[in-house]
Structure 1
Amino acid sequence: MKTYFSLLITVLLLCASCKKQQNSTSKKPKLVVGIIVDQMRYDYLTRFDKKYGNNGFKRIINGGFSLENAHFNYIPTYTAVGHASVYTGTTPVNHGIIGNNWFDKYLEKSIYCVDDTNYSTVGNTSEAGKKSPYRMVTTTVTDQLRLGQNMRNKTIGIAIKDRSAILPAGHTANGAYWFDGGEEGKFITSSYYMKELPSWVQEFNASGKVDAYLSTPWETLYDIATYTESIADDNNYEATFKGEEKPVFPHNIPALRAKNNNYSILKGVPAGNTLTTDFAKAAIIGENLGKSEHTDFLAISYSSTDYVGHQFGVASKEIEDTYLRLDQDLASLFTFLDTNIGKNNYTLFLTADHAATEVPSYLQSLKVPASYFTSRKFLNFLNATTLEKFQSEELILNISNFQIFLNKEKIKELKLNENTVAQTIADEAVKFKGIYKAVTARTMQTTTFTNGILNSLQNGYNQKISGDVLLVPNPSTISYPKKGTTHGSGYSYDTHVPIIFYGNGIKHGSSKKKYEIIDIAPTISNLLEIEFPNGNTGKIIEEALH
């Protein structure tokens, strides 16, 4: 009998303990931190693994839930599109951000994704703050969190790039801040959000941190001889800073800043990420994030990784050093969150807005198929085609972002059939070297592609604003100089990125199942018990959640 009662008491105590644990894990986080690392390939996690410390990337991988087979499911894979897609849970077909810049077929000129002349700069006298998220036509998870709490919480967006701060923060943000380089060297915002900078931003701008980070050369964090995961430092595939003879370490930033637009050089060195981390910490304190009864949201984007990748390429020692230093920045941020928010009081995710291809000229040296696409030669080719087929060289208004925009007025004037012209151009375009596929807007509207590269193309096609013919280049074919690299395709080197969840409400583990970048927003929405973004097409990643 005594044994029975002892067993009963033990069971009751265990049940109470389980219930207590359930209650503690079901409590909503006080702060959600969304981290996007600009141009981060998934293999940066594995390639540099042995050099990472235990408190940065490894901490959230080992203590959180990592998706090893996560991809973007649309074309084009550009910065603005990526940031919008992560936070809206959908693709350009719905959210309307089809590039960083794109040709506006109604205005017949190129436009920038967040430009808005209805607003003015707050923080200095430049034009860099005339911005807003109005071209993004759906809500974000950050919007839904504000709406779900009757606008009583706070949302703040932070990045070096304007678009990377504005789009994640959504339409209802309390503030979005970005770095204005040149002769300014300050974080600014737009009158869309406020009339003047908060005192904590003014104090940060006056602190001298920016000049401090530009006062020393960029040298490798560790002995460069140990950077065996990268190609030789002196090679023909990397671009130099203006004023440099070779793209090699050390990079004398104090001596180079004058020839590289002064404070703007900070964008292209690892210190830009450290500055972003410092500013994020200042925002947490200055805005009292995570201190109220409501859940706040801090959206951080690390932009310098993209600038370094573009200039030096994905196999460079510069990119390796940048990620080793970012690992330390992340470790510092996570420790700060532990101290100021509490280990069980925050949830975060880390992902990228796109990845990048190896430098094509480097691949060519290894006999790997790769090439460069020249828009001018392509336009001449198409003009010759339309002259032969339709007796006119004026049928094409613009070629950009691998899209062709037709001159509708000229087609009408010549009494031609618009669909016939588009299909003829598409049929001829695939004959041009470097073009793999060409599909008309009409095909995008009348055919459903359920998988493959054309499915990605269709997910990125917006009937209202996209072009009349959409192009898919061959793998590792880019429109870019021969030194450095870029992104934008639907191939795995551009689409395969990390997605890591960590903190309150997140399981420990990993998955090799294929997930899409648009699955982040509904997963976070479900964890926070709020409505999905209103254009959402993603799904909940159930295995990541408690």
Structure 2
Amino acid sequence: MKYSILFLILFTFSFSVNGQEDVQFQSQENIYVKPKLVVGIVVDQMRYDYLTRFYNQYGEGGFKRLINEGFNCKNNHFNYIPTKTAPGHASVYTGTTPKNHGIIGNDWYDKSIKDYVYCAGDAKVKTVGSTSDAGKMSPHRMLATTFADENRLFTQNKGKTIGISIKDRGAILPAGHTANAAYWFHGKDEGVFISSTFYQEALPKWVSNFNKSKTVKSYLKDWNTLYNIKNYTESGSDLNDFEEGFTGKETATFPYDLKSLSKENDGYDILKTTPYGNSIVVDFTMEAVKGEKLGADEITDVLTVSFSSTDYVGHNFGVNSKEVEDTYIRLDKDLERLLKFLDKEVGAGEYTVFLTADHGAVDVPAYLETQKIPAGYFGKKAFKSQLNDFMVKRYLASDLIENISNNQIFLNRDKIKQLGLDLASVQHAIVMELQSYEFIDKVYAAATIANATFNSGVEELLENGYNLKRSGDVLYEFVPAVISYGKKGSTHGSGLNYDTHVPLLFFGKGIKHGSTLQKTRIIDIAPTMSGLLGISFPNSATGVPLDFVLK
């Protein structure tokens, strides 16, 4: 009997040890995934409901393929204010918010130089590929690394990074500080992709060849709906009072003769405000993959692609327009074209993709009013006049306010000190004054935002968007569906759901199939990609890896 017990103990011990070895071996095998290429896609101004509203119009190879074969995070949100293009792209790739990466707007008032600065503007570099100043750009104002930067460091710069977009900021910020190159579209009378000396002294041959080709020029043609416009039942009427349209055409209605209209709409720039801008980006992206040999070896490369034309169309025509619907139907076709190309060029199952947006957009307030939904427009001029009158009456000084921009008030701190005033007290007085102003919903002093910790609501979003050195003295937010913008077309920037709720799709190597309604944050994307690749998180990342999307 005792021999049987001894045998049983030895057998159990042996099984446990062998099992442990198997588990250790298995964990080593899955410690990270090495796709040949990571493709990050940002669709500018894409609300989440564009996935669902236009779903039946999409084919099987674009958005639906990403959803059905990948992982769909259905409740993905931005966790800061302002929801603008530059902060959006920076946050997606750095895994943190403007509080840390420093990109607090597309442009902002710089308190130190008393002037505006552009998020990617850099007077120290020169344009490459054009005689214009449109290439004087770099990521130098972004304070954090991107996961693409970390991949470059991890691979000893053997893994390439290329950024591509219509917009300069959409190409530059995602690619990061160590990118091999970033390329963006310069329209006007040239219609070419350009770069800056931050990356290189001359364009590679494949870029020059693309610019010399007739690819861009071929899109100066009619823009009509891809399908019969009667089938576009997911959007409002084509003729309405809520769309801007193009100079030279009386109504914002299909079709649009782009070649003819280009003469009064900045030449090739007209293509930015059509779905053809996205098609051009895909054309150029495919040439980049071939020209740079991206995904050609076992060392992971990173390709960042931003589709900006969706934003231009949304601003011009509005969320509920036929033009927006047609733009997304055509983008779906372009995504299918890109994915098929990657299947062939890199290899099906050898690359990883994520798709998200840099912000959403509000329905045109004038349209919402016709639907009996509270909405409106905030008048900047009247606001500045009213606030200035208050400051003169309260402090007997007319120059205490230095700047008002991006829903922030910058005070003249030198003047405040000269008059012997307490900065915090002046901030608080303005906060109390603005609470009574029409359309202002929330207002906070910088001292409150900087010195408190919020865990919910608009206060948390403001805190995450507040940068101590770059943000203003008083921050304010409008009531829902009120904007400081023209009365035609859509815009964005708030912390409300229509601006914060955007798609997040993962697809390809190392990604599970499935979906979740669990809330995810835009800052979780970069740590997730770092976790997938087994590399360091971006140096200021505050997001967490979404482990449930990874195999």
Matched residue, 2:325: 320
Counting only pairs closer than 5 Å after superposition, residues 419-498 of structure 1 correspond to structure 2 as 419-498=424-503
CA distance in 2, matches of 1:368, 1:356: 16
Q: Deviations over 1:427-448 (max 9, x none)?
A: 1112111110110110012211
Please state how far the C-alpha of 1:27 moved relative to its aligned partner. Answer: 4.6
Please state how far the C-alpha of 1:24 moved relative to its aligned partner. Answer: 9.6
Q: Deviations over 1:273-298 (max 9, x none)?
A: 00000000000000000012310000
3-state DSSP of counterpart to 1:283: helix
3-state DSSP of counterpart to 2:41: strand
1:375–1:399 CA contact under 8 A, matched in 2: no
Q: Deviations over 1:460-498 (max 9, x none)?
A: 000110000001111111110000010000000000000
Counting only pairs closer than 5 Å after superposition, residues 214-363 of structure 1 correspond to structure 2 as 214=220, 216-363=221-368
CA distance in 2, matches of 1:506, 1:467: 41
Q: Deviations over 1:370-408 (max 9, x none)?
A: 111121111111111111211112111111110000011
One-letter amino acid of the counterpart of residue 373, structure 1: F
Counting only pairs closer than 5 Å after superposition, residues 115-194 of structure 1 correspond to structure 2 as 115-194=121-200
1:48–1:229 CA contact under 8 A, matched in 2: yes
CA distance in 1, matches of 2:490, 2:345: 39
3-state DSSP of counterpart to 1:341: helix
2:32–2:534 CA contact under 8 A, matched in 1: no
Calculate the aligned-residue CA RMSD, in Å. 1.5
2:360–2:499 CA contact under 8 A, matched in 1: yes
Q: Quick check: 1:534 aligned with 2:539? A: yes
Matched residue, 1:416: 421
1:69–1:513 CA contact under 8 A, matched in 2: yes
Q: Relative to structure 2, which stretch is displaced further, 374-383 or 279-288?
A: 374-383
Please state how far the C-alpha of 1:365 moved relative to its aligned partner. Answer: 1.2
Gaps of 5+ in 1: 1-15
CA distance in 2, matches of 1:352, 1:539: 18
The alignment's TM-score, normalised by the length of structure 1, stands at: 0.95
One-letter amino acid of the counterpart of residue 183, structure 1: D
Q: Deviations over 1:158-208 (max 9, x none)?
A: 000000000000000000000001111100000000000000000000111
CA distance in 2, matches of 1:120, 1:26: 39
Q: Quick check: 1:391 aligned with 2:387? A: no
CA distance in 2, matches of 1:131, 1:353: 20
3-state DSSP of counterpart to 2:489: coil
Q: Quick check: 1:104 aligned with 2:110? A: yes
Q: Deviations over 1:476-530 (max 9, x none)?
A: 1111000001000000000000000000000000000000000000000000000
Gaps of 5+ in 2: 1-21
3-state DSSP of counterpart to 2:277: helix
Matched residue, 1:79: 85
CA distance in 1, matches of 2:475, 2:345: 49
CA distance in 1, matches of 2:145, 2:340: 31
1:40–1:355 CA contact under 8 A, matched in 2: yes
Matched residue, 1:7: none
Q: Deviations over 1:73-92 (max 9, x none)?
A: 00000000000000000000
CA distance in 2, matches of 1:103, 1:29: 41
CA distance in 2, matches of 1:410, 1:75: 29
The alignment's TM-score, normalised by the length of structure 2, stands at: 0.94
Please state how far the C-alpha of 1:26 moved relative to its aligned partner. Answer: 6.1
Matched residue, 2:72: 66
One-letter amino acid of the counterpart of residue 278, structure 1: D
Matched residue, 1:212: 218
CA distance in 2, matches of 1:479, 1:417: 31
CA distance in 1, matches of 2:29, 2:210: 39
Question: Would the alpha carbon gap of residues 338 and 24 (structure 1) be closer, same or farther in structure 2, given more than 3 Å must change?
Answer: farther
1:25–1:505 CA contact under 8 A, matched in 2: no
Q: Percent identity?
A: 55
One-letter amino acid of the counterpart of residue 54, structure 2: F
One-letter amino acid of the counterpart of residue 50, structure 1: N
CA distance in 1, matches of 2:344, 2:330: 22
Matched residue, 2:381: 376
2:237–2:321 CA contact under 8 A, matched in 1: yes
3-state DSSP of counterpart to 2:38: strand
CA distance in 1, matches of 2:450, 2:328: 42
CA distance in 2, matches of 1:477, 1:26: 46
User: How many residue pairs were aligned?
Assistant: 528
One-letter amino acid of the counterpart of residue 418, structure 2: E
| Residue of 517, 526, 530 corresponding to 1:525 | 530
1:355–1:494 CA contact under 8 A, matched in 2: yes
Matched residue, 1:12: none
CA distance in 2, matches of 1:240, 1:527: 44
| Residue of 202, 220, 228 corresponding to 2:208 | 202
2:33–2:532 CA contact under 8 A, matched in 1: no
Matched residue, 2:18: none
* Poorly superposed stretches of 4+, deviation over 4 Å: 22-27
Please state how far the C-alpha of 1:30 moved relative to its aligned partner. Answer: 0.3
CA distance in 2, matches of 1:415, 1:290: 62
